[in-house]
Structure formats: structure tokens, C-alpha cells
Structure 1
Amino acid sequence: MSVLHKNKVTKIQSSYAFEHEKREKKASKRRKVVLLRFSLFAVMLMALSSVFLYALISQSSAIDAKLKAKERLEVKLQMLKKEEEKLNDEIKKLNDDEYIAELARKEYFFSKEGEIIFTTPED
């Protein structure tokens, strides 16, 4: 088995055999070129699809971040609207003299004549 076996068959030297061999070489060369083109096309397609996939993923994560920020800002907006309502009510109350007098008695311990204020611990 270690000895190489040589073919002892000689090729026919006719024009038909020569043309047939030439066509086979051409076909083989074409197959190689087609395979090379297909491989190149496949590599380019994979590269292009990976770029598109990367763009899609990055845009998706950016959209998710924007949606989360929007939700946080909407919650903050609702809180600010409630605070605005509260402050508008406070403004309306501060235009009332009776409310101002009650607030002064409560916060600054002012009393009416003859009124005694007792403070109790809040605990």
C-alpha cells in the first residue's frame, strides 16, 4: 500500500478528447468562480444583516429608555398638577380674612382677647 500505483492507461490524443477535457476544465473553473461569488455575496449579506440588526437593537433600546423616561415624567407631571391645585386652593384661602386669622392663631399662637392657648405635645 505504501507504493504509489500509477495509472498505466494513456489518454487518447484525439481532438474530441482534447475538447472534452477543455470543456470540463472550463466548467470546473466556472463552478469555482460561481462558488467564490456566492461565498462573497453570502459574507456581504451577513455583514449587512448584522449592521441592520445592530441598528435595530440599538434603536429598540433607545426607544425603551425614552418610554421609561416618559412614564417617569408623566408621574412627575401628575404630582406637580396636584401640587398646583393645592397651591391654588391655598391662594384662594389666603384671600379670606377669617382663614388668615385662624392660621395666625394656629401657627404663631396669636389669641383673641380673653382666649387662653394651651399647647399639647404631639407625641
Structure 2
Amino acid sequence: MGAPQRNKVQKIQTSYVIQQEKQEHKKARRRKKIFIRFSMLATVALAASSLFLYLMMAQSSAIDKQIKTKEQLEEKLSTLQKDEKRLQEEIKKLNDDQYIAELARKQYFLSKEGEIIFITPDD
């Protein structure tokens, strides 16, 4: 239990033993090469999947921005369409002489003969 004992058994140096050792050595090198290839392949696969994931996330955020922009533009379009309808109605009204007279009386304080204009404060 004190000092480790040395192995006093000698290896047999025959051609068979040497051949077996060479085969074991070749197998070990082959396993090492396979492990290195697998590691490289795994690294490339990881890098490729990371790149694809990054591209997917970037495209997803770009699509979200485009959707938000589209919604804002649709709201603006509907507002402009309402304004267009209102202005079309205003154009139709402006072709009427009575409406023009009423508008002039309201905005420019014009009056007909015999009318008195009273200005009241706005609430």
C-alpha cells in the first residue's frame, strides 16, 4: 500500500503483437479523425443555424415594421377619404347662392338690408 508497484511483465515482441498494436493505433487515429470531422461539422451546422435564425428574426422585425406602417397609412387614407367627402359636399354647397350668402354673413359679418348683427362671445 505504500509505494506503487512496477509492472514486471514484459510484452512479447512477435510480429502478431506488433501487427495488432499497429491496428489498434490506426483505429485510435481513425476515431480521432472521425471525432474531429464530427466536431467541425457540428460547428458549421451550429454557425449555419445561428445565421438562419438571425436572418429569420431580422425579417420578422422588418415585416412587423411594414405591418405597422401599413396600418398607419390605412388610417391616414381613411381620414383623407373622409376629408375628401366633406370637401366634395362643400364644393356642392358653394355652387348654391343661398349658401354663399349665408356663409358671407357668418364669416364676414355682412348683412342684408334691415338686419342688425349682434356679436356674442364664444363659449
Give yes or no for the alignment of 1:66 onto 2:66.
yes
TM-score, with length taken from structure 1: 0.94
CA distance in structure 1 between the partners assigned to 2:93 and 2:80 by the alignment: 20
Structure 1: tracts of 5 or more residues without a match: none
RMSD over aligned Cα, in angstroms?
Answer: 1.3
- Tell me the equivalent position of 2:104: 104
Q: 1:26 Cα shift?
A: 0.6
TM-score, with length taken from structure 2: 0.94
Greater than 3 Å deviation, 4+ residue runs: 1-5
- Report the secondary structure of 1:116's partner residue: coil
Number of residue pairs aligned between Structure 1 and Structure 2: 123
Q: 1:5 Cα shift?
A: 3.7
CA distance in structure 2 between the partners assigned to 1:96 and 1:2 by the alignment: 122
- Tell me the equivalent position of 1:23: 23
**CA 2–40 in structure 1, closer or farther in 2 if over 3 Å, else same:** farther
The 5 A counterparts of 1:1-123 are: 3=3, 5-123=5-123
CA distance in structure 2 between the partners assigned to 1:69 and 1:4 by the alignment: 78
Q: 1:20 Cα shift?
A: 1.0
% same residue: 59
Corresponding letter in the other structure for 1:46: L
Deviations 1:55-78 (CA, angstroms, capped at 9, x unpaired): 111111000011001100000000
- Report the secondary structure of 1:20's partner residue: helix
Deviations 1:27-75 (CA, angstroms, capped at 9, x unpaired): 0000000000000000011111111111111111000011001100000
